[in-house]
Chain A
Amino acid sequence: MVGIVSYGTYIPKYRIKVEEIARIWGENADVLKKGLGVEQKSVPSWDEDTATIAVECAREALRRAKIDPKRIGAVFVGSESHPYAVKPTGTIVAEALGIGNDYFCADLEFACKAGTTAMQICYAMVKAGLIDYGIAIGADTSQSRPGDPLEYTAGAGGACFIVGRDCIAEIEGTFSFASDTPDFWRREGKPYPSHGGRFTGQPAYFRHIVEATKGLLDKLGLRPSDFDYAVFHQPNGKFPIRVAQILGFTKDQIKQGLVVPYIGNTYSGSSMIGLASVLDVAKPGERILLTSFGSGAGSDAFSFVVTDRIEGIERNPKVLEKIKECEYVDYGLYVKLRRKIRFG
């Protein structure tokens, strides 16, 4: 039995409300909030980046797992905002966790789905007997051009999953669907991403999530009603609700994992934080669907079955409690914290 042994999350404490960003750009906040399904987003502090977020969520996962860090055999960090273009985030994380020097490691990048791809790699390596435990992290401090619609949703946060055999949630199966679809991109050396506007919807988000989820359900012989919870990638509050409807999942199934209205889109952390929120309350025997989405484009779908071990793991503080513990900033402080002011 291979699956999630432990998990941890980190969400920076600062938040900015949609009203505050809309005030600066002369937009109608009510229309934006209704259209995006987002109330506010998380903002990293000046001394937080993908590496610090990755370390904090991984430390929480390791603390909860109560395993010797030296038994971690692989560290994979998925992000589209790695602090370095050349130099891995993974080695910083591994050093901060004290796992020694005997480990497989790489940084992954596939827009918002790099973290779930890290989970698939760890799953395969544990199943193959190459490692006892693998660490899969999805973390981002996502970028957005000032005044761009993305600015209302591009948040920061991360989640870590330790994959191994003595698991709290078994990976019942996984399925991926990918195609060359240029819906959202950032060219080398550019500070902000570009996107294809509405093109990010039907041919990108919806097609890939629907196909990956259907592929998984067909492979496992399952139906949406067989799941207690479902988590989809959350670029805004509307898309995951609509894709759930298309696939035949109910609002009740996705409610617990829908965190985007309060912290925004945490990119590589997005669906993984949603999964962590579900694990916070899940009971043995329950089945969870997770389907991520990364622009460019692809989706990874997973089916998890919660085991009895979940009762024995520390699950506090819960994701929803972390979301509530926040401090609001105005737009001026936001641009300072996010280094959007260029000097000379």
Chain B
Amino acid sequence: MLPKFWRKIRSRYNLIGSHCENCGSYFYPPRNICPKCRRKGKVREVQFSGYGKVLSWSVVHDGVENFWLSKPYIVALIELDEGAKIVAPLDCNPDEVREGMRVKAVFRKFGEDGEDGIIYYGTKFVPV
């Protein structure tokens, strides 16, 4: 878990994704190859603005480890303003979430490996 998390710290903390200059598509998490353009693709790293809108969501009532303190919690499909889609926790009252709701990225704790373990941080979303 530790090396897997460490390798992705940059993109998880900062919403760093990819942009294909050939077809204009944006991706998150970052990709090395554009799935549309393949060899013709020209992929470069991009920092997303952190703003977007809710496309869809689920309210989770049976929280998995590290999320049980926040249940019920929302996992949302969010379309970033640049066009990339991301699945991420949305810190919001389940009664308030709606399709098209404007959201922004925030830096939050995701969990920890027990009291002695490492703390995992990353990007969640909140209503604007």
Contact = CB atoms under 8 A, between A and B. Distances in A.
Interface in B2-26: 9-10, 13-14
Given A45-B91, A47-B108, A95-B9, A52 B14 contact: no
B70 A52 contact: no
B109 interface: yes
A49 B108 CA distance: 8
Nearest to A83: B119
Contact of B109 (A49, A95, A96): A49
Interface in A95-138: 95-96, 98
Interface in A55-100: 55-56, 59, 83-84, 92, 95-96, 98
B14 A98 contact: yes
B23 to A, nearest CB: 26
Contacts of A98: 14, 47
Nearest to B10: A95
Contacts, number: 42
Nearest to B9: A95
B86 interface: no
Nearest to B105: A59
A47 B10 contact: no
Contacts of A45: 91, 108
Nearest to A58: B107
**Main secondary structure on B side of the interface with A:** strand
Given A52-B107, A52-B109, A96-B14, A46 B119 contact: no
Contacts of A51: 109, 119, 121
A44 B46 CA distance: 31
Contacts of B69: 46, 336
Interface in A300-344: 336
A144 to B, nearest CB: 20
A218 interface: no
Nearest to B123: A96
Interface string B15-47: 000000000000000000000000000000001
Contact of A48 (B13, B14, B47, B108): B108
B60 interface: no
B106 interface: yes
A343 to B, nearest CB: 11
Q: How large is the interface on A (under 10, 10 to 19, 20 to 34, 35 or more residues)?
A: 10 to 19
Contacts of A83: 119
Nearest to B108: A47
Given A51-B121, A52-B121, A96 B107 contact: yes
Interface in B74-126: 91, 106-110, 119, 121, 124
Nearest to A44: B109
A84 B13 contact: no
B119 A47 contact: no
Contacts of B108: 45, 47-48, 52
Given A83-B119, A92-B121, A46 B107 contact: no
Interface in A177-233: none
A191 B70 CA distance: 22
A241 B61 CA distance: 48
B91 to A, nearest CB: 7
A47 B70 contact: yes
B118 to A, nearest CB: 8
Nearest to B69: A46
Nearest to B68: A46
A204 to B, nearest CB: 32
A46 B109 CA distance: 8
Please name the 3 residue pairs, one residue from A and one from B, whose CB atoms are nearest each other, closest first.
Answer: A55-B107, A47-B109, A96-B13
Interface of B: 9-10, 13-14, 47, 69-70, 91, 106-110, 119, 121, 124
7 contacts: A47-B70, A47-B91, A48-B108, A51-B119, A52-B106, A55-B13, A96-B107
Given A47-B70, A47-B109, A95-B9, 4 more contacts: A47-B110, A49-B119, A52-B109, A96-B14
